[in-house]
Amino acid sequence: MTADITAAPALSAPALEAVVDLDAIAHNVGVLRERAGADVMAVVKADGYGHGAVEVGHAALAAGARALGVATVTEALALRAGGVVAPVLAWLHSSATDFAAAVAADIDIAVSSTAHLDAVVTAARGLGRTATVTIKIDTGLARNGVGPADWPDLRDAVATAVAEGSIVLGGMMCHLAHGDTPDHPLNDSQAARLDACVAEMARLGVRPQTVHISNSAAALTRPDLSRDLVRPGIAVYGLSPLPHGFDDLPLIPAMTLTAEVVMVKAVPAGQGVSYAHTWTAPHDTTLGLLPAGYADGVPRLLSNRLRVRIGDRVYPGVGRVCMDQMVVDLGADTTVREGDRAELFGRGTQGGPTATEWADTIGTIDYEIVSGIRGRTVRRHRGGPQSGSTR
Ligand SMILES: *Cc1c(COP(=O)(O)O)cnc(C)c1O
């Protein structure tokens, strides 16, 4: 190794790195469009499920997505600041939401109540602009969205606001409670309820520009529920929202989390490892230390229950996952050296671990794993629209 390279630490990978493959994002958007038979609104809330909302947003749009969806107006404005000019929808608001900023930035605002609508109309009038509004209807999830009791008032108020020119109706939407159970009867009744509301609006002379229902699970399995758009999130990132049995989906996980092996040391049989010595070396062995802990999003519940891939071999995590570090058992005569990289999760190639495996192990969903990667993790993007790479 030349002195030049060792003298250039900036060129080496960060100690803990999440690489997001934007070509995988593009591939997954293509899979979703084809499966759903509809245009895609890629959901990039929560900083793109931990993958970077702006970068993923640009990659998804370049791959043919027509719009982006986020929860809050703050998230929507961050996309605009990041250069996104495509339609952006935001659907979760509070008394602090700056609707004027949203209208000024041409954000489609999903309203769940007449109070939201009134605030948007006031903002639009104040700016002398027309706001784009989507009606979010609670067709059975019982989360946000307008419920049956308040629907007639909101319907009539929207019709009035459209007639006076303060808003245009960008869309009507609902969100499924049982999308990951494709044959659940509630999926059909939720769609029927939304369609009935659309028909009621039409009788008042107002037609939404788009109607949309499907999350990732429905986009992948229920093309009959696709209306004008589908709203996938998790599948854009290459993870499946469906129970095992749908494992053959051609999605590519976009995020790979790796850490440097920062220390390698031999320990004798009987040596307890990490806090409370919850693991004891059964024989003389070698330990590898990784600078990744629960403050970085590695769940402490994975203590003694995870595996990492180094090269073409997989090694068990041993002892407690701590705030900043964790330990793997490399075995008695290991070839692993300090400076090697360990894959904590990724595509699952070469028998390596996945975010889904972590989630299954501790009884959660991979959404929580990838959106929870944080702390000292350095995120890097590769591929994507500017790279000229092809797949
Ligand atoms: C998060 C969210 C989605 C995306 O759900 P996935 O299961 O990640 O596909 C779609 N629509 C709404 C309203 C959401 O809140």
Residue 232 Cβ < 6 Å to ligand 1: yes
| Calpha distance 45→49 (Å, rounded) | 6
If 0-12 CB within 10 Å is exposed, 13-18 middle and 19+ buried, where does residue 381 land? Answer: buried
Question: Is residue 13 within 8 Å of 261, Cβ to Cβ?
Answer: no
Tell me the binding residues for substrate: 143, 323
CA of 213 to the centre of ligand 1 (A): 10
For the chain, the structural domain boundaries read: 22-236, 255-382
Q: CATH classification of 255-382, choosing from 2.60.120.10, 1.20.120.1200, 1.20.1250.20, 2.40.37.10?
A: 2.40.37.10
Which amino acid appears at position 161 of this protein?
A
pLDDT at 388: 54
Q: How many angstroms separate the alpha carbon of residue 42 from the centre of ligand 1?
A: 9
Q: Tokens standing for 231?
A: 């709203």
Identify the pLDDT of residue 12. 82
Ligand 1 in reach of 41 Cβ (< 6 A): no
289 Cβ inside 6 Å of ligand 1: no
pLDDT of residue 245: 67
Nearest CA, atom 12, ligand 1: 175
Catalytic center residues: 45, 275
Architecture of domain 22-236: Alpha-Beta Barrel (3.20)
Spatial CA neighbour of 87 closest among 100, 111, 70: 70
Ligand 1 neighbourhood includes 144 CB (under 6 angstroms): no
Query: Is the beta carbon of 171 within 6 A of some atom in ligand 1?
Result: no
Whether ligand 1 lies within 6 angstroms of the CB of 234 is answered as yes
d(CA 215, ligand 1 centre) in Å: 5
Please report, in tens digits, the pLDDT of each residue of the chain (391 residues total): 333 444 444 568 999 999 999 999 999 999 999 999 999 999 999 999 999 999 999 999 999 999 999 999 999 999 999 999 999 999 999 989 999 999 999 999 999 999 999 999 999 999 999 999 999 999 999 999 999 999 999 999 999 999 999 999 999 999 999 999 999 999 999 999 999 999 999 999 999 999 999 999 999 999 999 999 999 999 999 999 988 767 788 999 999 999 999 999 999 999 999 999 999 999 999 999 999 999 999 999 999 999 999 999 999 999 999 999 999 999 999 999 999 999 999 999 999 999 999 999 999 999 999 999 999 999 999 998 877 544 3
8 Å CB contact between 296 and 323: no
Say whether 255-382 and 22-236 share the same fold. no
Which residue owns the Cα nearest ligand 1 atom 8?
233
As given in the structure block, the two tokens for residue 132 are 């784009």
Return the ∠ at Cα 290 (arms to 286 and 295), rounded to 5°. Answer: 145
- The closest residue, in CA terms, to atom 4 on ligand 1 is 233
Query: From the CA of 242, how far away is ligand 1's center (Å)?
Result: 13
Give the 3-state DSSP-derived string for the chain, with helices as H, strands as E and coil as C.
Answer: CCHHHHCCHHHCCCCEEEEEEHHHHHHHHHHHHHHHCCEEEEECHHHHHCCCHHHHHHHHHHCCCCEEEECCHHHHHHHHHCCCCCCEEECCCCCCCCHHHHHHCCCEEEECCHHHHHHHHHHHHHHCCCEEEEEEECCCCCCCCECCCCHHHHHHHHHHHHHCCCEEEEEEECCCCCCCCCCCHHHHHHHHHHHHHHHHHHHCCCCCCEEECCCHHHHHHCHHHCCCEECCCHHHHCCCCCCCCCCCCCCCCCEEEEEECCEEEEECCCCEECHHHCEECCCCEEEEEECCCHHHCCCHHHCCCCEEEECCEEEEEECCCCCCCEEEECCCCCCCCCCCEEEEECCCHHHCCCHHHHHHHHCCCHHHHHHCCCCCCEEEEECCCCCCCCC
Burial of 312 (C-beta count, 10 Å sphere; 0-12/13-18/19+): exposed
pLDDT at 278: 98
Query: Are residues 259 and 290 in contact, defined by beta-carbon separation less than 8 angstroms?
Result: yes
Pocket test for ligand 1, best of 43, 49, 216 (most atoms within 8 A of CB): 43
Of the candidates 391, 386, 384, the residue with the CA atom closest to the CA atom of residue 21: 384
Q: Mention every residue, 6+ apart, whose C-beta is less than 8 A from residue 35.
A: 219, 220, 221, 223
- Residue of the nearest CA to atom 15 in ligand 1? 71
Give the pair of three-digit tokens for residue 381.
């993007």
Nearest atom within ligand 1 for CA of residue 43: 4
